[in-house]
Amino acid sequence: MFLPLKRIFAEKRRLAVPVLGGLALNALVYAGVIYPFTARVRATEARADAANQQLLGAQKDDASARGLEQGRDRTNAALKTFYKDILPPNVAQARQATFLRLAQLAEQHNLQRAQRDHGIDDEKESTLRRMRMTMSLQGEYDDIRRFVYQVESGSDFIVIDSIALRQGSEAGSRLTLDLTLSTYYRAGVDGI
């Protein structure tokens, strides 16, 4: 089937010219207005996507910073609680926590004190002072074990620095526990 376009155009010129003119006008409007507008819309959408990605990144950074700030605040609160409620506030309280509490625990566990000594050390560039104490106790193994457990799990801030267990040379002699303990307190609170 062959369509004679010349003949159709010649016979329907009145109709064909406006249709072809409309097509040409549509092509010009598309090329001059719609295509550039579409390109601008695509560029704007790309910038909006990039801005959304930056916003998401900024929100993640903000959440991370808020988490760090909350963690710092919790740490500061825990440190204040530690200094206020757990750490002895002065040398007198530190002595009471070590001497009195340890003497009570030794008596409670049927241990006899053989000797006891103490000293105070300054921690360099710190507001804390260390009260160091050495003591020797004598008793049965089970009593010594329960005593050490009570010291380690007690609410007082007493640190066992070293521990040694020995038995006398005589048969059936009691065991001797040598301990080095420490506690810390705030320097300057009591003028020491």
Segments making up each domain of the chain, as ranges: 1-86, 91-186
> What is the C-alpha to C-alpha distance for residues 10 and 8, in angstroms, rounded to an integer?
5
Q: Is 102 exposed, middle or buried (0-12, 13-18, 19+ CB in 10 A)?
A: buried
For the domain spanning 91-186, the CATH number is 3.30.70.60
What gap in Å lies between CA 119 and CA 128, rounded to an integer?
14
What is the C-alpha to C-alpha distance for residues 42 and 44, in angstroms, rounded to an integer?
A: 5
Query: Whose CA is closest to 91, among 133, 147, 150?
Result: 133
Q: Does 37 score more than 70 pLDDT?
A: yes
189 has pLDDT over 60: no
* Spacing of C-alpha 5 from chain mean position: 82
With a cut of 90, say whether residue 44 has pLDDT above it.
Answer: yes
Beta-bridged to residue 186, according to DSSP, are: 128
pTM of the complete model: 0.57
pLDDT at 188 exceeding the cut of 80: no
Q: What is the pLDDT of residues 70-117, one digit of tens each?
A: 999 999 998 888 888 788 888 887 887 788 888 888 999 999 887 788
